[in-house]
Structure 1
Amino acid sequence: MSIDNSLRKFAETFQNSNETIGIMQYSNMKLKADKIDLPITGEILYFYDHMILEDGPILGNDLYIRFIERNQLKNILDGWDNDPEWKDSYIIFADRNGDVLLCDSSDIKSPVYGSVQMDMYKMTDSLSDFLDIYSNLIKVEEVEFGGDVADDDFNYKPEYLLRIEEELNKNLSSKLFVDNFMYFFFG
């Protein structure tokens, strides 16, 4: 799916979800905003040129992530340049409990990486793939399970984890990406 179609679908998922905070809307027109003082290109640039993000947008309940607003992109990078594996082309676009999702903007498709305690691993070949898959996972969480994904002891229900993994296997190009997705969201 093209990045434009992925953004439309993703904004619709955000709008239809009962588990959102803040504002996330798609704009047909390129947003008029201050220049981003980072080496940002490709799909991640298209994301920030066409998504209105305000008030710390968060999507998801158990699968929640908080999206980084355009004016916070530079600040979120503080400290990351101390990591010897860090590249200037990495753009952090979301976080979850201090772990982050980032794109490599040196590639026009903006592949997505997860970073748990500064240990990075690839999750998808493009930002559009990530947004499509994440939208599908939110639907599994909210529509199929009604948000009821854990037992009384706060352990994930096995059928929920199996269904998430099934969705990932159906949509990701490698078993490694499936494992990385599962690790980022479920440890």
Structure 2
Amino acid sequence: MNIQNAVQDFVSKFKMNDLNMGEIDYTDDENETSFPVNLNGEIRFFYSHLILNDHPTFDGTFFIQIVESQELNEMLSGWRVQNDTTWRDEYIIFAERNGDVLFCDTQNITSPVYGSIQKRNFIISNSLADFLDAFCSAIEIEQSKYDGDATDDDFNFREDFLEDIDLMLKSKLKDVEAEAFKYFFFG
């Protein structure tokens, strides 16, 4: 999927759930020409064509809060630490989940997406477009097939839900990336 279609689908999936907080809208015109950090490639397209307000947050199993463009530099505080060889200046955090983050490597035009749990980094997809495609498909499964409730009576994820997510991820991402996606969202 190309980045434009992926970003438009991302907006559509956000609007699908009334429990999501904040606002996300798509604009064909670039909405900002300067950013507080250096952006290029797919992550630049993402921020140039989205209007983000009031800390947009996806609800549900795939809960994430999207970092608004004016907060990109501030979000890096605590991640860019001297003598930390695992964190590079080219990394841009675009989403947060309970203190863990999703970030892109801006050194590559496709903006590969990584997860970081307790500052342990792992690749989730080779491009932001691929991540958004998988993320939106996961949201679609949760909302459409499971009516927003993918847990059983004991609040464990339903086996059929996990199987559906696994099948979808394996059709969209490499095996190692699919496992990393599940690790980020399910532990």
TM over 0.5, shorter chain: yes
How high is the TM-score relative to the length of structure 2? 0.95
In 1, the alpha carbon distance for the partners of 2:132 and 2:17 equals: 15
Please give the residue correspondences for 1:82-121 in structure 2 after superposition, counting only pairs within 5 Å: 82=81, 83-121=84-122
2:32 aligns to what SS in structure 1? coil
Tell me, yes or no, if the aligned pair for 2:57 and 2:63 is still in contact at 8 Å.
Answer: yes
Aligned residues: 185
Q: Offset at 1:58?
A: 0.8
Deviations 1:117-154 (A, max 9, x none): 10000001110111111111001111101122112222
In the TM superposition, residue 4 of structure 1 has moved relative to its aligned partner by 1.1
Q: What 5-or-longer segments of structure 1 have no aligned partner?
A: none
Deviation larger for 145-154 or 177-186: 145-154
Q: Does the CA contact (< 8 Å) of 1:60 and 1:138 recur in 2?
A: no
Q: Which of 144-153 and 20-29 deviates more?
A: 144-153
Name the CA distance, whole Å, in 2 between partners of 1:44 and 1:94: 12
DSSP-derived class of the 2:109 partner:
coil
Q: Give the letter aligned to residue 145 of structure 2.
A: E
Instruction: Report the residue type matching 2:184 in the other structure.
Output: F
Looking at structure 2, the residues matched to 161 and 45 of structure 1 have their Cα atoms a distance apart, in angstroms, of 32
Tell me which residue corresponds to 2:20: 20
Normalising by structure 1, report the TM-score. Answer: 0.95
Q: CA deviation at 1:6?
A: 1.2
Runs of 4+ in 1 over 4 A off after TM superposition: none
| Secondary structure of residue in 2 paired with 1:178 | helix
Is the contact between residue 22 and residue 56 of structure 2 (CA under 8 Å) also seen in structure 1? yes
Indicate conservation of the 8 Å contact 1:113/1:122, yes or no.
yes
SS across alignment from 2:114: strand
Instruction: State the Cα RMSD in Å.
Output: 1.1
Code of the residue aligned with 1:144 in structure 2: it is K
Q: How many angstroms does 1:37 deviate by?
A: 3.0
Secondary structure of 2:147's aligned partner: coil
**What is the match of residue 73 of structure 1?**
72
Q: Matched residues in 2 for 1:177 and 1:5: separation?
A: 21
